[in-house]
Structure 1
Amino acid sequence: MAESTAPPRLRIPGAPLTFEPHAFSRPRPNGHKRPPSGQRFHLWVSGCQMNESDADYLSQGLTAAGFSAVPDLDQADLAILVTCSVRQNAEQKAYGRFRELKAWKRARPGRAIAITGCMANKEKDRLYERLPDLDYRFDMRQYEAFIQDLQGEYETDPAQTGGAILQHGLTAYVPVIFGCNEVCSFCIVPFVRGTERSRPLTDVVEDVTRFALQGVREVTLLGQTVNSYRDPRTKAGLSDLLEAVERIPGIWRVRFLTSHPRHVHDDLLLAIRDLPRVCEHLHLPFQSADDAILKQMRRRYTTDEYRAIISHARDLIPDLSVSTDVIVGYPGETEEQFQKTLALLEEIKFDVVHIQGFSPRPRTTAALHPDDAAPPEKKRRINVLLDAQRRIAEDANRRWLGRTVEVLVERAEDAEVTGRTRQNRVIIGAAPLGAQTGTVRRVLVEQATAWQLRGQVLN
C-alpha cells in the first residue's frame, strides 16, 4: 500500500473534518496537478492574536506537507489571506488586499488565492461570487482537509522538508479554547467561530513543549473567553492549565487573554499571584460603564461588579497591570452614558485601553438598532478617551521610576535592548556591555512616558 502523504495532525480542534460542497476549492478546468515549482505560499494576516495563531498552525501544516513559506509575495505560488470580520473596516482591509492580489495572480500562470478566517466563515461561498479570482475558501477548523485538498492540486514532497515545523521567535500564541458562548449583542464571533470548544490540557502542553524546544520563552494562551477554559475530559480549568504550562522546561513567562468578567474567580487570581512564571497582567474588557448599555450589550455584569473584580484582583496581586476594551457610540448611547465610561477610566486607571467605535455586524442583535452616533461623534468620543488614557498611562508608568524590573529582551542592537516587563510594559534599556536577545535582564527604570519606560541594564 502506498504511504499516505497527508500532513501530520496538529490538533486544532473544532468541527469534525467534514467537507461541505465547494468549501475548499473551486474546480479547475484542466484538472491536472501543478508543476513542482508551485509549492511556495505567502500568508497575509489581519485581526486578533487568534488569527496570528491560526496562521502559525496553518504554516506548520503546510510546511510538514511539503510546501515552503516565503516572506516575499512575488516568490509565492499561493497567497493565503487570514481575515477578520469583527469590524467592518477589517473586512474592507481584506477586500482591499484581495484587489491587490488580482494583478499578482494574473502576472504568472498557476498562481492561486485562498481565504480563511472569520470573513471566510461569515460570507461562505458568497465570496466566490464577489471575488471571481478566488480559488479556495476554507474554515480553519478544517484546515487539515484544506491541506489535503491542496496536495491533490500541487505536486509536493514532504520528505524534502523532513516534516519540518516552522521556527518561532521568543514568543508564541497558543489557542486553548475556540468560539464563545457569551453572545454579546455587538459581537459576530459566536457566528463565525462557533460555540466554545476547549482543547485537552495534554494537547496544549504538548504544543508548548514543542515551542520551548524551538526557542520560545514566552507563551500567551488564547481564547475569546479564555477563562471559560475547561479540559473536555478532566474539566480542569484555566488555573490548572497555567500551572501545567509554567512547569514546562524552557518556558520563562506565561500570559493569557482575553478574559470575561463573569468568569474571573479566585483560583485564577491566585494562580497569577502564586505561579512564578505567570505574568502579573489581566486583560479584562468592560466595554461600557453604563449599566443600561451593559444590559443591552448582554454583558451580564454591572459596573459595580466590574469595579469590585478589579479592586479584589489588585488587593491580591501586587503590581498587577490591567488592560481593557471599550466601545463608544453603541446604539442609543447618550453623552451622559459616555461620560460614565470616561469616569470609570479615570477611577480605575487602566494601564492600557483599546477603544473602538461601534461597528454594526450582520446577524448580531445590535445591528437591528439604528447606528445613531455619526462617525465624527464616535471619533470625538474615542479621542476624549485617548487623551484621558494618555495622562493615566503616563502617571502609571511614572510609578515605576527608580524601580528595577525584569525584562525579556526581544531585540538587542547598538548597545540598547528592547523588551517587555512582566506587566507587559515596553521598555528600552541602555546596555553598554551588551545583552543577548532571548535573555532575561534586570533594568533600572530612569524615564517614563505614556507608552514606554527607559532605563539602564544592570550587569
Structure 2
Amino acid sequence: MSLSQLNGKTYLIKTFGCQMNMHDSERVSGLLDSCGCLEVATPAEADIVVFMTCCVREAADTRLYGQCLSCKSLPAPPSGKRVIAVGGCIAQRDGEGLLTNLDNVDVVFGTHSIAHVGDLIAQAFDDGNHHVRCEEHEENPATTMPWHRATSYHAWVPIMTGCNNFCSYCIVPYVRGREKSRPFDEIVDEVTALSRMGVREVTLLGQNVNSYGRDLFGSPRFAELLRRVGDTGIERIFFTSSHPKDLLPETIDAMAEVPAVMPQLHLAVQSGSSRILKLMNRRYTRESYLDLIERVRDRIPDIALSTDIIVGFPGETEEDFEQTLSLAETVRYAQAYTFIYSKRPGTPAAEIDDPTPREVILDRFNRLVHVVETTANEFNQHDLHRVVPALIEGTSKKNASILMGKSAKNQTVHAPIPAGYSIDQLVGKIVDVDVDAARTWYLSGTVTGDPR
C-alpha cells in the first residue's frame, strides 16, 4: 500500500506523558493529515489508533498495556481492518520487545523515527505484518514535518531535543538521546510565523531549556533566545523544563525584562536533601537551590514557582524526607508535581536496594501533598480581589457555562460565560477576571470588560 492509499482512513492518537510527547503527537497527526487521513474522537471509529508513550514512570507502562489490549474488544472499523501503532519513549526503549506482550500491535516507532510513521502504517495495512523502526539517531527532525496543532491560540515550540544530564533515576537520555539544539534563527522564524498566524502563546520545549545552544555555540544562549522570541510579537511565552544547575543570572534577567515572558517558572528540585540530590546526580545542593530561588524572587517578586518532587528515592531516610518537607515549606510553591519513586530498569538508581516499607513511603507522600496544597492555596490568595487576565481555553469539565482559562502565572481561572457571548467567541481570547474566590488549584470570579 502506498501512502496515497491511506487517504480516507480514520485515526485517533492517545498521548501519555510530557509536553514533548504532545508535540510529537501533533507531528504524527500532521503526517497522517497529509496522507488524507481523518481524525475521529473514539477508538471504535478509528482505522488507525496511535499510542504516544512515556516511560518515566511504571504507571505509564501499565496504562499503555491496558489500553492497547482493550482495543482487541472493539468492533471492526468500516474499512474492515484496524492498525494499532505505538510510538514515543516506550517504543524507543522496548522496540520489537513490545510485541511479546502486545500481540495486537502492528507498528512500533521510536522517538527518532516519527518521519516514517506513514510508511510503517501503510505497510501494515498492505501485508498484515508487524513493522518496527527504532533508530538511534534522527535523520529527519520532527520539527521539519507537518503538524496538526491542537489549538489555534497556543503552540508547542521545541528548541532542543535530548538530555545530557543522566539523573540516576531517569530513562530520558536513553530514549531521547543527547542534547541537540535547533538553529537559533529557525526557532525565531517559527515563532514569528506563528504570531502572524494568530497564535498568542508559545511554550518553548526542551528536556533542559537552560542548556539551549551549548552544543551549537559552546555555551548556553537561552537568555538571548528568550529576548529574541520576545521581539517576535508573540504575546505570551512559557518554557519547560528548566534544570536548576543551568539557570544562569542572564536568563533570570531576561525573564524579568522581557514583557512576553510570563512570571512562571517550573524548577524541578526532586529532593530537599543534598545527600539524596548527590545520589540522584542532580549536581546542585539544597543550599544552592534555595539561593537560586532567592535570586529569582529578588528579580521577579510575584513569580509562580512550580516543581517536581520524588518521594521514596532508594535510601531516603526520615531525615532526608524532612529536609524535602522543610524545603517545600520554605519555597512555598504555587504548584508541585509529587511522585513516588518508580524504578526504571537500565538506570543506576534501579540497582540500589531500598528496605523502606511501602507504608512509610505512602505516609511521607501524603505529608508532602498536604504541605504543597497549603502553599498553593496561600499563593492563590495573593490574587483574591485582583483583576487577572486569562487566556480562555474552553469551559469547565464540570459545567459548560463556566469558562476555563489560564493566567499569566499558569493558574486555572474560572468565570461564568458573560452575557452576549458564546464559548466559540471566547476561546483563544484574553479576558479580565475580577477574582472573588481563590482556591487551592484555581481562581474564580466574573469577567469584566471586553475580551481581546
Q: 2:431 aligns with which of 436, 441, 453?
A: 441
Q: Provide the C-alpha distance between the structure 2 equivalents of 1:35 and 1:223, rounded to a whole number of angstroms.
A: 35
Unaligned runs of 5+ in 2: 127-144
| Superposition map of 1:94-113 within 5 A | 94-104=64-74, 109-113=80-84
Identity, in percent, stands at 34
Instruction: Provide the residue aligned with 1:145 in structure 2.
Output: 116
Instruction: Provide the residue aligned with 1:180 in structure 2.
Output: 163
Pair 1:244-2:234 in alignment: no
Moved more, 205-214 or 237-246: 205-214
CA contact (8 A) 2:202 2:237 kept: yes
Unaligned runs of 5+ in 1: 1-30, 156-162
Q: 1:366 to 1:276 in 2, by over 3 A?
A: same
Q: Provide the C-alpha distance between the structure 1 equivalents of 2:268 and 2:150, rounded to a whole number of angstroms.
A: 29
Instruction: Provide the residue aligned with 2:49 in structure 1.
Output: 79
Instruction: Provide the residue aligned with 2:338 in structure 1.
Output: 355
Q: Provide the C-alpha distance between the structure 2 equivalents of 1:214 and 1:231, rounded to a whole number of angstroms.
A: 31
Q: 1:38 to 1:102 in 2, by over 3 A?
A: farther
How high is the TM-score relative to the length of structure 1? 0.85
Instruction: Provide the residue aligned with 2:184 in structure 1.
Output: 201
Q: 1:182 to 1:434 in 2, by over 3 A?
A: farther
CA contact (8 A) 2:7 2:36 kept: no
Q: 1:334 aligns with which of 277, 299, 317?
A: 317
Pair 1:420-2:402 in alignment: no
Instruction: Provide the residue aligned with 1:8 in structure 2.
Output: none
Q: Provide the C-alpha distance between the structure 2 equivalents of 1:154 and 1:215, rounded to a whole number of angstroms.
A: 38
CA contact (8 A) 1:34 1:154 kept: no
CA deviations 1:288-333 (Å, max 9, x no partner) are 1111111111111000000000000000113111001100111111
Instruction: Provide the residue aligned with 2:62 in structure 1.
Output: 92
Pair 1:166-2:148 in alignment: yes
- For the residue of structure 2 that corresponds to 1:125, the secondary structure is helix
Moved more, 219-228 or 425-434: 425-434
User: Cα distance, 1:443 vs. partner?
Assistant: 2.4
Q: Provide the C-alpha distance between the structure 2 equivalents of 1:268 and 1:36, rounded to a whole number of angstroms.
A: 46
User: Cα distance, 1:395 vs. partner?
Assistant: 1.3
Instruction: Write the letter of the residue equivalent to 2:414.
Output: I
User: Cα distance, 1:215 vs. partner?
Assistant: 4.0
Q: Provide the C-alpha distance between the structure 1 equivalents of 2:443 and 2:351, rounded to a whole number of angstroms.
A: 44
- For the residue of structure 1 that corresponds to 2:74, the secondary structure is helix
Q: 1:174 to 1:105 in 2, by over 3 A?
A: farther
User: Cα distance, 1:173 vs. partner?
Assistant: 1.8
Q: How many residues align?
A: 421
Q: Provide the C-alpha distance between the structure 1 equivalents of 2:341 and 2:124, rounded to a whole number of angstroms.
A: 42
Pair 1:132-2:103 in alignment: yes
- For the residue of structure 1 that corresponds to 2:112, the secondary structure is helix
CA contact (8 A) 1:168 1:214 kept: no
Q: Provide the C-alpha distance between the structure 2 equivalents of 1:395 and 1:276, rounded to a whole number of angstroms.
A: 26
| Superposition map of 1:338-417 within 5 A | 338-411=321-394, 416-417=402-403
Q: 1:67 to 1:416 in 2, by over 3 A?
A: closer
Pair 1:284-2:267 in alignment: yes
- For the residue of structure 2 that corresponds to 1:378, the secondary structure is helix
User: Cα distance, 1:453 vs. partner?
Assistant: 1.2
CA deviations 1:232-253 (Å, max 9, x no partner) are 656772222222323334x321
CA contact (8 A) 2:6 2:36 kept: no
Moved more, 171-180 or 330-339: 171-180
Q: 1:154 to 1:213 in 2, by over 3 A?
A: farther
User: Cα distance, 1:390 vs. partner?
Assistant: 1.4
User: Cα distance, 1:168 vs. partner?
Assistant: 3.7
User: Cα distance, 1:33 vs. partner?
Assistant: 9.1
CA contact (8 A) 2:43 2:71 kept: no
Structure scoring higher RCO (CA < 8 A, sep ≥ 6) equals: 1
Q: 1:309 to 1:130 in 2, by over 3 A?
A: same
How high is the TM-score relative to the length of structure 2? 0.86
| Superposition map of 1:112-127 within 5 A | 112-127=83-98
Q: 1:324 to 1:366 in 2, by over 3 A?
A: same
Q: 1:207 to 1:62 in 2, by over 3 A?
A: farther
User: Cα distance, 1:41 vs. partner?
Assistant: 1.6
Instruction: Write the letter of the residue equivalent to 1:330.
Output: F
- For the residue of structure 2 that corresponds to 1:81, the secondary structure is strand
Q: Provide the C-alpha distance between the structure 2 equivalents of 1:64 and 1:207, rounded to a whole number of angstroms.
A: 20
Moved more, 366-375 or 177-186: 366-375
CA deviations 1:3-27 (Å, max 9, x no partner) are xxxxxxxxxxxxxxxxxxxxxxxxx
Instruction: Provide the residue aligned with 2:32 in structure 1.
Output: 62
Q: 1:137 to 1:213 in 2, by over 3 A?
A: farther
User: Cα distance, 1:420 vs. partner?
Assistant: 1.4
Q: 1:338 to 1:35 in 2, by over 3 A?
A: same
CA contact (8 A) 1:105 1:112 kept: no
Q: Provide the C-alpha distance between the structure 2 equivalents of 1:320 and 1:89, rounded to a whole number of angstroms.
A: 32
Q: Provide the C-alpha distance between the structure 2 equivalents of 1:36 and 1:283, rounded to a whole number of angstroms.
A: 41
User: Cα distance, 1:416 vs. partner?
Assistant: 4.6
Instruction: Write the letter of the residue equivalent to 1:457.
Output: V
